[in-house]
Amino acid sequence: MTLRGRLTTAFLVVVLGPVLLGSIFVAMTVATVSRDRAAERLDHAATTVRTSMAATCRQLQAAADTVATVPAASRQDVVGRLIARGLATDIRIAGTAPRPDAGNIGGWPDCASPTGGSMDVIAARAVTGDLTITAAQTIDDGFLARLEAAAGTDVAITAPEQPEGNAPGQPEGKQPSGERRRLTPQPGQPLALTLTLPPHRPIFLYAVLPAVVLAAALAAVLVARWLAHSTTRPLGELAWAADRVADGDLDTRVPIPHPDELGRLAATFNRMTRELQAYVQALTASRDQLRGHLAILGETLSSTHDLHRILQVILRTALAATGARAGLVLLIDRPSGQLVAQCGVGLAGRWDVPEAELPQQRLPIGEGVLGAVAASGEPRRGQGELAASEPPCLTYVAVPICAPGVPEEPGDPAPFPETLGVLALYDRVGGDTFDDSDLSTLRTFAGQAGVAVHNVRLHEEAQRLSLTDPLTGLWNYRYLRESLRREVERASRFGRMLAVLVLDLDHFKDVNDTYGHAAGDAVLGEFARRIRVGLREVDVAFRQGGEEFVVLLPETDAYGGAIVAERLGAAVRAQPVAIDGVQVPISVSVGVAVFPEHGENSLQVLAAADRALYAAKNAGRDTYRLAEPADVTKSGVSPGDHDGDFDATTAVPSGPRPPQRRRGR
């Protein structure tokens, strides 16, 4: 389908779609509202009819009760007056003959408990002594007319055995027009009634809606044809000019018919071709000069440790040196077996994302051109061979980024270089394919990138080793000071608590003296492993020195710190450490302090936890103690004031520190 056809179709869909949906919505809304209003009217009518029938039943019951309460001699007179006042059409007293003007009224359904009988009369009964007084109301047309006037609907009596949905005298299965509601007999309403609403359909609305839709469709077709023609003609001319420019004719210009958006686009295109001519000339003149500076650039880039900046400089310099339109640098992520994009310029398709989102773009090693270069370590160049998951382009050149081979010992042969990633360029300006000269240039850039990446990773590894303990894998004392200061500042800023635990292995000197220092190192490694297992992800463990360790518990109070201390002590105590087939039991003493309760800064909190550790040692080891609050510590409470039980809330006062800190506790 042509662009004109797509524009016409899109315009019709945009215009007619809402019109059709709106008309359908209006029709459905009108029908729904009509049904809802009919249901509301029927609900109101049903309530009104039930209320009217209940009032009639109460009236009959009151008449029967009145006759039952008067003396026997006055009953007939009272009956006459009640009938004359219209409170009942007939009143019967069991054992007496009915009034001659009451007519023949047979079995009367009782208002209180309707069980069938005549559908023309309702009655209420009262019992006094041996007599039963029955007050009746004849259900005639006048009575039904009053019900219809009150309810606002047609009211008809339905025989109890008649199927629902059929009015009296109508054949079974014949549905009448309009809405209806069936009322079943019940106490206070002894008749089976049918309420019916006359039908109501908005015929005028249903006739106007199709006419409006047809008129809108006709107008939309006419406007769409005009819009598509006026839009696509300038675009066609622009496409023709773009083809000429793509073929290398940079002298092509596009006429500017009108000063609208398409006119501005044509003017921009003309300006672009002029600037492109100047750019190609300048690029051709400066290419040799840029290649001469590659060695100096490589030395400069290898002296910094900002990997992202290094790769950006290398990529942009490679683009300027080769005249490529776009470029991409990817590094291999060994755990996932994928290439991860680090930086890119001028990318298209799904790769055209902000710089911050580019590291989310990944390619499996071995997939497409880039994956094949990473897997084989061989450069590739060509055109139209990329996979769908790679950046779209016409021509490309890709070379591997390799780490420099460094022999382990002087005089050894250099090892085979390890592939670290891929450097790729796309679409040279002017439409030319990449040649051997571009491939050689890009190899030089990739070599510099390999040296830079290798140096940065060596620096990061050295920095990591300077902050970790090589024996246990935990953070060392140097990182402890920085982390404790940072966590105390965060807790102070947000009004949180920080628990600090100082742990020391009991009788560790005996382990070294008995089994040797290698066994002592094995005990320290196993102890560190048990600490890591017993902590949360946000908790941090450190080896302070010797057999002494520190644990930071962010957002944890004294009670929580005591629970962790008890749990760690149980984990250490529960399982001896196997050394040369011998099970060596170990235990740990723990001191617990909390910021800001036991200190105003990181040094005070750590000192308070250290004093609590010595209190745990003095209490017999294999236990924990909680440091004293600052005000209690200053009051001079003696150690004898505490019984030494393993209570998380027991405050152990500070005392003189023993001279030996690391061994023999």
CB 568 within 8 A of CB 590: yes
3-state secondary structure 524-555: HHHHHHHHHHCCCCCCEEEEEECCEEEEEEEC
User: Who has greater pLDDT, 2 or 141?
Assistant: 141
Residue 142 covered by a domain: yes
* Long-range contacts at 289-296 (CB < 8 A, ≥ 24 apart): 290/317, 290/320, 290/321, 291/321, 291/441, 294/321, 294/441, 294/444, 294/445, 294/448
**Residue 662 near residue 545 (C-beta atoms within 8 A):** yes
Q: 196 with 154: CB under 8 angstroms?
A: yes
Q: Kindly state whether residues 176 and 48 are assigned to the same domain.
A: yes
Same domain, 271 and 329: no
Asked whether residue 467 is assigned to any structural domain, the reply reads no
> How far apart, in whole angstroms, are the C-alpha atoms of residue 599 and residue 616?
19
345: left (phi over 0), alpha (psi -120 to 50) or beta: beta
Task: State how far the Cα of 400 lies from the Cα of 404, in Å rounded to an integer.
Answer: 12
145 & 230 share domain? no
Show which of 249, 283, 317 is a domain's final residue. 283
In this prediction, residue 570 has a pLDDT band, given cuts at 50, 70 and 90, of very high
Residues 346, 255 within the same domain: no
Choice among 72-76, 157-161, 468-472, 537-541 with the minimum mean pLDDT: 157-161
pLDDT tens-digit readout, 277-288: 887 777 676 666
Those residues with Cβ within 8 angstroms of residue 147's Cβ, 6 or more apart along the chain or in another chain: 49, 52, 53, 155
Where residue 611 sits, what CATH number does that domain have?
A: 3.30.70.270
Whether 182 has a pLDDT exceeding 80, the answer reads yes
Residue type, 566: E
Share of the chain above pLDDT 70, in %: 80
End-to-end CA distance of the chain: 86
Q: Count Cβ atoms within 10 A of the Cβ of residue 576 and give its class: 0-12 exposed, 13-18 middle, 19 or more buried.
A: middle
Query: Does the residue 465 lie in any domain?
Result: no
Strand partners, 577: 584
More reliable by pLDDT, 595 or 130:
595
CATH number at residue 245: 1.10.8.500
Is residue 411 included in any domain, yes or no? Answer: no
Q: Answer with the one of 153, 181, 197 that is the final residue of a domain.
A: 197
Q: What is the pLDDT of residue 549?
A: 93
Q: State whether residue 221 is helix, strand or coil.
A: helix
State the Cα–Cα distance between residues 188 and 61, nearest whole angstrom: 10
Averaged over 166-186, what is the pLDDT?
59
Question: 636: Cβ–Cβ under 8 A, 6 or more apart, which residues?
Answer: 653
| Residues 106/119, Cβ–Cβ less than 8 Å | no
Write out pLDDT tens, residues 214-254: 887 788 777 777 777 777 777 777 788 888 888 878 788 88
Point out the domain boundary residue: 176, 197, 218.
197
Question: Do 386 and 511 share a domain, yes or no?
Answer: no
The structural domain count of the chain equals 4
- 3-state SS of the chain: helix, strand, coil percent to 5? 50, 20, 30
Give the pLDDT score at 28: 80
Q: Is the pLDDT of residue 409 over 70?
A: no
Residues 82 and 209 in one domain: no
Residue 657 inside a domain? The answer is no
Range of weakest confidence among 181-185, 349-353, 413-417, 562-566: 413-417
Same domain, 186 and 230: no
Its domain, for residue 250, covers 204-283
**Do 57 and 108 fall into the same domain?**
yes
484 plus 585 within the same structural domain: yes
Sheet holding 362-364, edge to edge: 362-364, 338-345, 324-333, 419-428, 395-402, 380-383
Residues 492 and 639 placed together within one structural domain of the fold: yes
Gyration radius from the chain CA atoms:
49
CA–CA separation, 498 vs 484, rounded Å?
9
Query: What's the pLDDT at 406?
Result: 57
Considering only CA atoms, which of 118, 48, 51 is closest in space to residue 89? 118
Per-residue pLDDT, 301? 59
Q: Which whole number is the average pLDDT over 625-631?
A: 78
pTM: 0.39
Both 43 and 68 in one domain: the answer is yes
The model's pLDDT over 20-35, given as tens digits with 9 standing for 90+, comes to 777 777 778 877 887 8
Residue 220 in any domain: the answer is: yes
Contacts of 582 (CB under 8 A, 6+ apart): 515
User: Maximum distance among all alpha carbons in the chain?
Assistant: 143
Chain centroid to Cα 624, Å, comes to 43
Q: In sequence order, which residues have a C-beta less than 8 Å from that of residue 475 and are 6 or more positions away?
A: 467, 468, 469, 483, 540, 541, 542, 543
Instruction: Please say if the pLDDT value at position 209 is more than 90.
Output: no
252: helix, strand or coil: coil
| Predicted confidence (pLDDT) at residue 633 exceeds the cutoff of 60 | no
Establish if 659 belongs to a structural domain: no
- Can you read off the two tokens belonging to residue 210? 């199709």
Q: Are residues 227 and 337 in the same domain?
A: no
CA angle 425, 426, 431 (to 5 degrees): 130
Reduced to 3 states (helix: H, G, I; strand: E, B; else coil), residue 51 is: helix
Residue 176 has pLDDT above 80, yes or no: no
Reply yes or no: is the peptide bond before residue 470 cis, omega within 30 of 0.
no
> What is the H or E stretch that residue 607 is in?
helix 602-618
Q: Is 331 contained in some domain?
A: yes
Q: Which two tokens stand for residue 414?
A: 């250099």
pLDDT band at 603 (very low <50, low <70, confident <90, very high): very high
| Residues 6+ away with beta carbon under 8 Å from 199 | 177, 178, 179
Least confident of 94-108, 151-165, 307-321, 502-516: 94-108
